[in-house]
Amino acid sequence: MLSIDGSEGEGGGQIIRSALALSLATGMPFAIERIRAGRAKPGLLRQHLTCVDAARTMSNATVLGATLGSRALTFTPGPLVPGAYRFDIGSAGSTLLVAQAIVPALLVDGGAWSLELVGGTHNPSAPSFDFFTRALAPLLARMGAPITATLDRAGFYPAGGGVVRLDLAGGAQLRRLVLEDRGAIRDRRVIAAVSKLPLDIAEREAATATRLLGWGADAGAAVELRSPGPGNVVSIVVEAEHATEVFTAHGERGVAAEQVARSAVRECSAHLATEAPVGAHLADQLIVPMALGGGGRFVTVEPTEHTRTQLALVPRFVGRAPTASDRGDGTWLVEVPPRLAG
């Protein structure tokens, strides 16, 4: 059984989610201690418990320590059982982070799966539904593992209540991915969305973002989302020949619409200033599925703590270490060996 220090690396929920995904895929049990030790609220939160519950339910795993606030967890997986499952976080916690804990293993399993995840769908510090469908899912499909993602209802903090459906057809195979250049930019757009708030907020955000980016006004759109509670998100989508990137910012009480737009623009502009096809957030999402399949390589920006955590954790489960090397031009090359047989 692997022993993991949950305070290492980024020291938050990602090490738990990645360990669950890797454990489900490899069959290797693990024990993790000092979970989120440096956080204001250490231990397992509802979102993390939903990840554990999903992994346990789908594999008939044996679990110790799966309680709210627990700082230690032991997880021994069984064989995955394909089928239809529903998991409700019970809060506005991110449904897409729950997906991060289980989907890579389901892609390796190759069975047919249908998931309904209830909670947050557009959360700060988490992948948004738009990021998942526009940036990550197309690359997984290129690797041979297509996912159909449907947003039945948006979920914002604090109301939550969003519903995401993920359908995985049987026969998926994670092939090698090579992504070294962005290629020509084919489309760019700003999508500002509100729920139970004046549409004028989204219109101001779209106008501000397109103006700051130097894009035409027709590149911006203001939309309303159906959701149990109020919310606001700005998504900037840059579709290039070989990869699509999504940059988001979330509205907050007391923060002007124009400031929300500027936040998303800063992240987008910083990425476009490099030649990297893979942004900072997409990089850490790709490493686990690549390591569980055919491996490959991609060019990205300087690795975040989340990415470095993935690089350190993966070899403990699959035996071969991915690497990240500075290319000296503001970009980095991440190389992921294919999974060892058996």
Dist CA 136 CA 128 (whole Å) = 11
Q: Which residues contact 270 (CB under 8 A, 6 or more apart)?
A: none
Q: What is the pLDDT of residue 38?
A: 86
The verdict on whether 281 is a catalytic residue reads: no
Dist CA 126 CA 103 (whole Å) = 16
Contact between 195 and 230 (Cβ < 8 Å)? yes
User: Given pLDDT bands bounded at 50, 70 and 90, which one contains residue 211?
Assistant: very high
| Residues forming beta bridges with residue 149, ordered by sequence position | 166
Q: What are phi and psi of 55, to 5 degrees?
A: -65, -40
**CB-CB neighbours of 333 under 10 Å:** 15
Q: Which residues contact 162 (CB under 8 A, 6 or more apart)?
A: 95, 118, 119, 120, 121, 122, 129, 151, 152, 153, 154, 155, 156, 227, 228
Query: Distance from CA of residue 187 to its chain's centroid?
Result: 22
3-state secondary structure of 22: helix
Percentage with pLDDT > 70 across the chain: 99
Contact between 287 and 334 (Cβ < 8 Å)? yes
pTM of the model: 0.95
DSSP 193-231: EEESS-HHHHHHHHHHHHHHHT--GGGEEEEE---SS-E
Cα separation values, 321 from 13, 162, 167, 292, Å: 21, 37, 30, 12
User: Given pLDDT bands bounded at 50, 70 and 90, which one contains residue 341?
Assistant: very low
Dist CA 194 CA 242 (whole Å) = 30
User: Given pLDDT bands bounded at 50, 70 and 90, which one contains residue 340?
Assistant: low
- One of 48, 122, 250, 306 is an active-site residue; which one? 306
Check whether 51 has a pLDDT greater than 60. yes
**For residue 208, which of 262, 263, 156, 129 has the smallest C-alpha distance?**
262
Q: What is the pLDDT of residue 62?
A: 98
Look at the chain and count its residues.
Answer: 342
Give the pLDDT mean for 224-232.
97
Contact between 68 and 46 (Cβ < 8 Å)? yes
For each of the domains in the chain, give its residue range(s) and CATH number, in order of start.
2-179+278-336 (3.65.10.20), 185-272 (3.30.360.20)
> Where is average pLDDT lowest: 9-13, 116-120, 133-137, 186-190?
9-13
Q: What is the pLDDT of residues 296-331, one digit of tens each?
A: 999 999 999 999 999 999 999 998 899 999 999 999
